[in-house]
Amino acid sequence: MSKAEQRHRRRSARNGWLLSMPALVMLGFAASGPLLIVLVYSFLQKGDYGNVVWEFSPDGWIGILFTRDIFDGTLGLADAHLTIFWRSVSLSLMTTVITFALGFPTAWFIATRPASERAAWLFLVTIPFWTNLLIRTFAIGEILRTEGLVNTLLLWLGVINAPVQLLYNDNAVLVGMAYVYLPLMVLPLFAAIERFDMRLLEAAYDLYASRMQVLLHVILPIVKPGIVAGSILVFVPSLGAYVTPRILGGGKNMMIGNFIELQFGQGRNWPLGAALSMTLLLIVVVALLFYVRAVNRAGSGHGHG
Amino acid sequence: MMKTGRLRLVEENAIEAQSIVKAFGQGKSALLALDDVSVSIRKGEFFTLLGPSGCGKTTLLRLMAGFEMPTAGTIRLDGQDVTYLPPNRRPVNTVFQSYALFPHLTVRENIGFSLKMQGRAKAEIAECTDRMLALVKMEDLAERKTAQLSGGQQQRVALARALAPQPKVLLLDEPLSALDLKLRKEMQIELKRLQKETGITFVFVTHDQEEALTMSDRIAVMNAGRLQQVAAPREIYTAPVNRFVASFIGETNFLNVTPAPGGFRLGNGEIVTAEGSGGVLTVRPEQVRIVSAEGAALTGTVDSLVYFGTDMHCHVRLGDGEALTVRLPLPPCGEAGVSPGDRVGIAFQPGATRLIEA
Amino acid sequence: MVMAERRFSVASLPGFAAIAIAVFFCLYLPIITLVIYSFNSGPSIAVWQGLSLHWYADAWNNQAVKDATVRSLVVAAWASGIATTLATMAALGTTRRASYKGQTFIYVVINQPLMVPEIVTAVALLIFFASIKVATGYQGLAYLIAAHAAFCIPFAYLPIRARLEGMDLSLETAAADLYATPWQTFRYVTLPLLGPGIAAGAMLAFVISLDDVVITEFVKSGGQDTLPTYMLGQLRRAVTPEVNAISTVLLALTVLLLTAFFLLTRKSN
């Protein structure tokens, strides 16, 4: 590169940084920066009425998995905590599976519509996605209530004699999360299926594959990066869900998000809350790394695997 | 052919398409891709469907494969009606124009795909795959992913994959069109050898008439959804039945003639006799000779000369204004012996002229 | 002659169309039910007692709802404005130039709100702003606006960046050829062409800000409800179709803005 080109490059980089700086400052102040504070707080001692005492204490992190007996100070496994973690992980996994089972046919359906219709169907699937999370959760809650649509229908059909309690349990949260995060599974799947070469299907049928064999041996393997992307896009927000378990779970069926909130409210254990937040963030970052790898593999084609 | 003892007709035809009509769309705007096409393909034949883009040859092939179903008509495979049978139930396999190799499988897995779908034993699949790899000489690349192969290699894998399940008929949809000229010529020889070796009926689709002439046992020339002529290459070339076939295959001269006592009268008055019937006389450029203008019945002036390496094309304008192309073989020194503006005489090789409809 | 139009469709898989239609149905059923019952004259969400708009009137006359609505709109407007401006600058700084060191870092920071779970950010801001509140005594809307502006940046950034990358470079080169200074080129060529992208980004940021629940709930001071947090509070007590009415209005607004967004981004294709 010539001297002039080098100078131009440096100036271009400098301008790039200058232009991006205001946004970076804003985010640093009200998004990324405070995360560091959380990290610091996780190593402090909890105050008696909430907030923290500025002394080092590992209790925040220990408290994730263990409780200290108030009488003899020994550590024991915090069963309540483990239940919450287990619930969060299993519900998130189940949500991912359900959204895939329902989302894959939906994405396939949209991708195989004639090109003129496709944008309309996509728009239809996206609208619920952009609708307020609270509204959608509330709407599902209304359907599941004892006076709601599902119970009314079941009573009318004669399947049950009295309204069934559908709300305020793990299943309600599962249904709610599947409902809320379904579009997040459909969109990456649709992107992957749209890129799929349909002529491969002709070849597969020509070579005596049945419909099921085509799905298992040709479609799913090739669309795998989209499946991974969709799964992570559903799993990550599910893990950190707050609104949905709160409204549909009724306060007793807590997930990690609610548990974190508790520490800053009645629980009065800010360091624990901070440690939990950091743990959640760590899990999410790891999951996102998998996502980036899957997306990159999709972009580079199928030359190796 | 009748077998004595048991009255059983042994099916001679590998594929029989009868009165095929294929229309796309509805009503007024419907496109008639195939208009009452009937063709019989014999077992063990190398049969070519030849025609320009949009003539319906690919549509006919897809009807045989099962990806489309005819609007009317039937398709029989080895005597059995397969018209509405889905492609995975027909003992017919296709080599696609785009090869359609599975990108997530290796060469070996691609070739063995059909056998795996049919649920054959692992040992059997391995043995058959090895045989196919040897047949197309791809043993070294068996474990590669198909995306890493060159065009010619991909083509051979597609071929092996389609041959592996030992189909009754192999359908090839312009399989060589993506290859460069030299590779094409090599693959043409390869394909011909494979067909002879395996004995499988090949149905080959192409728009390249030279390819059709060199490889086929029989050619079906198509245009605008209709069959024009079905015959062996030599007959297609020397005895085209209409103007389309005559002009699509090789180069032809067309001269208008009128009936006259003893034969047909050319523009300049000379009477010629020829086989066929109609108002147009056809003759191939290489069957026309330049002779001395003295005493020649048909004369003209040389318009231009075009150099083709192997020969020279001489464009002659006849007395009545009609144009004629003559192919002049070139001697070693490369001189044709005529120049633009010369007055020359024209002579036809005996038996080389044919009459067709205008 | 048999005129059968049967076809072996390679792209159809058994049962998929049925499942897809069922999914669409189930996606919209709860929302539609919600909207319908906002017009229910009775207080129940299951017993239909006739058409009525009185819940809308109730909501309209409810001072708490009015305050929350105004606050939502004010915060959204400010946040959208700030976020769009900063995002535009950032987009200009990260596209159409040779890649430089740290560009990935900038990209990660800008998109960070999309990746970090909301609860984590909410907690972080709770702690951070709590100490500032104690230190300065200021309890106004600025915290909310700052928080919203921050997480709206990536939503404004992405459409603007997309539009910028799709722009024809030759137009700006032509302007330079016609003696325009860099600033003039920006003002008279780049900015107008970028217009639809900026509008789309602003609209998206506005919708996102309006809809936010978690971060707002943690960051707000007492009595500083936005519409979603007001509804969240209501949901913990007795639920009346007033919530349905408010939801329907929010829904309508979102759909309107989204349609505009889609049209804006479609036209640029």
Please check whether residues B53 and B181 belong to one and the same domain.
Answer: yes
pLDDT given for residue A60 in this prediction:
81
A26 falls within a domain: yes
Find residues 166-185 of chain A whose CB sits inside 8 Å of chain C: 179, 182-183
Taking alpha carbons only, the member of A141, A221, A131 closest to residue A181 is A131
pLDDT of B271 higher than 80: no
Confirm or reject contact between A42 and chain C (CB < 8 A).
no
pLDDT given for residue C45 in this prediction:
65
Measured CA angle at A147 (ends A155, C250), to 5 deg: 135
Q: For A302, which of B98, B116, B145 is closest by C-beta distance? A: B145
pLDDT tens-place string over residues A64-86: 888 777 777 777 788 888 889 88
Confirm or reject contact between C8 and chain B (CB < 8 A).
yes
Q: In this predicted structure, which of B88-102, B117-131, C1-15 has the lowest mean pLDDT?
A: C1-15
Percentage with pLDDT > 90 across chain A: 33
pLDDT of B10 higher than 70: no
The per-residue pLDDT of chain B, averaged, comes to 88
Taking alpha carbons only, the member of B193, B190, B194, B229 closest to residue B209 is B229
pLDDT of C151 higher than 70: yes
Please check whether residues A92 and A17 belong to one and the same domain.
Answer: no
Domain that holds residue B134: 13-242
Mean pLDDT computed over C29-52: 81
Q: What is the CATH number of the domain that holds A144?
A: 1.10.3720.10
pLDDT class of B1 with cuts at 50, 70, 90? very low
pLDDT of C2 higher than 60: no
Close Cβ partners of B350 (under 8 Å, ≥ 6 residues apart): none
> Regarding beta strands B31-42 and B13-24, do their DSSP bridges make them parallel or antiparallel, or are they unpaired?
antiparallel
pLDDT given for residue A302 in this prediction:
43
**Shortest CA gap B218–chain C (Å):** 30
pLDDT class of C1 with cuts at 50, 70, 90? very low
Q: State the Cα–Cα distance between residues B238 and B283, nearest whole angstrom.
A: 9
At A276, give phi and psi (nearest 5°): -60, -45
pLDDT class of C100 with cuts at 50, 70, 90? confident
The per-residue pLDDT of chain A, averaged, comes to 86
Please check whether residues A233 and A99 belong to one and the same domain.
Answer: yes
Q: State the Cα–Cα distance between residues C104 and C114, nearest whole angstrom.
A: 15
pLDDT given for residue A300 in this prediction:
52
pLDDT given for residue A301 in this prediction:
47
pLDDT tens-place string over residues C171-224: 888 888 888 888 888 888 888 888 888 988 898 899 899 989 999 999 988 888
pLDDT of A240 higher than 80: yes
Please check whether residues A17 and A159 belong to one and the same domain.
Answer: no
Q: Which two tokens stand for residue A291?
A: 């996502």
What type of residue is B107?
A: V
Q: Which of B180, B213, B242 is the last residue of a domain?
A: B242
Q: Which two tokens stand for residue C115?
A: 């990746």
SS3 B19: strand
pLDDT of B305 higher than 50: yes
pLDDT given for residue A75 in this prediction:
75
Q: For A209, which of B94, B104, B117 is closest by C-beta distance? A: B117
pLDDT tens-place string over residues A113-168: 988 888 889 888 888 888 888 889 988 988 888 777 888 888 888 887 777 778 88
What type of residue is A130?
A: W
SS3 A70: coil
Which fold is adopted by the domain C62-267? MetI-like fold (1.10.3720)
Evaluated on CA atoms C142, C144, C145, C146, the torsion sign reads positive
Q: State the Cα–Cα distance between residues B341 and B316, nearest whole angstrom.
A: 9
Q: State the Cα–Cα distance between residues C31 and C35, nearest whole angstrom.
A: 6
Percentage with pLDDT > 90 across chain B: 57
pLDDT of C240 higher than 50: yes
Taking alpha carbons only, the member of A77, A88, A258 closest to residue A177 is A88
pLDDT given for residue B334 in this prediction:
63
pLDDT class of B269 with cuts at 50, 70, 90? low
Q: Check: CB of residue C218 under 8 Å from CB of residue A273.
A: no
pLDDT of C48 higher than 60: yes
Q: Which two tokens stand for residue A10?
A: 């440096």
Chains that touch B (3 or more CB pairs under 8 A): A, C
pLDDT of C99 higher than 80: no
CB contact under 8 A, A209 and B93: no
The larger pLDDT score, comparing residue C169 to residue B244, is at B244
Q: Which of B242, B274, B293 is the last residue of a domain?
A: B242
The larger pLDDT score, comparing residue A161 to residue A110, is at A110
Domain that holds residue A208: 78-299
In angstroms, what is the C-alpha Rg of chain A?
Answer: 25
Please check whether residues A29 and A82 belong to one and the same domain.
Answer: no
Q: What is the CATH number of the domain that holds B130?
A: 3.40.50.300
Find residues 169-188 of chain C whose CB sits inside 8 Å of chain A: none
CB contact under 8 A, B87 and C8: yes
Taking alpha carbons only, the member of B55, B297, C216 closest to residue A132 is C216
Please check whether residues B232 and B267 belong to one and the same domain.
Answer: no
pLDDT given for residue C146 in this prediction:
92
Q: In this predicted structure, which of A293-297, B20-24, C128-132 has the lowest mean pLDDT?
A: A293-297
Confirm or reject contact between B69 and chain C (CB < 8 A).
yes
CB contact under 8 A, C23 and A24: no
Structurally, chain B folds into a number of domains equal to 2
pLDDT class of B192 with cuts at 50, 70, 90? very high
B51 falls within a domain: yes
Most C CBs within 10 A among B67, B74, B88, hence the mutation to make, goes to B67
A52 falls within a domain: no
pLDDT tens-place string over residues B313-337: 999 988 777 888 888 887 777 666 7
B135 falls within a domain: yes
pLDDT of C124 higher than 50: yes
Mean pLDDT computed over B218-223: 96
pLDDT given for residue A14 in this prediction:
87
pLDDT of C267 higher than 70: no
Q: State the Cα–Cα distance between residues B342 and A285, nearest whole angstrom.
A: 87
Q: A78-103: b or e for each residue (b if 16 or more CB lie within 10 Å)?
A: beebeebbebbbebbebbbebbbebb
Q: State the Cα–Cα distance between residues A243 and C119, nearest whole angstrom.
A: 10
Q: State the Cα–Cα distance between residues C7 and B36, nearest whole angstrom.
A: 19
pLDDT of B95 higher than 90: yes
For A87-103, what is the HEC assignment? HHHHHHHHHHHHHHHHH
pLDDT given for residue B233 in this prediction:
95
Mean pLDDT computed over B189-200: 92
Q: For B72, which of C3, C7, C10 is closest by C-beta distance? A: C3
Please check whether residues A217 and A106 belong to one and the same domain.
Answer: yes
List CB contacts (< 8 A) between B168 and chain A.
none
pLDDT class of A15 with cuts at 50, 70, 90? confident
Is the interface score ipTM higher than 0.85? Answer: no
B3 falls within a domain: no
Please check whether residues B234 and B338 belong to one and the same domain.
Answer: no
Confirm or reject contact between A206 and chain B (CB < 8 A).
yes
Structurally, chain A folds into a number of domains equal to 2
Confirm or reject contact between B72 and chain C (CB < 8 A).
yes
Mean pLDDT computed over C121-147: 88
Mean pLDDT computed over A27-43: 89
CB contact under 8 A, C251 and A132: yes
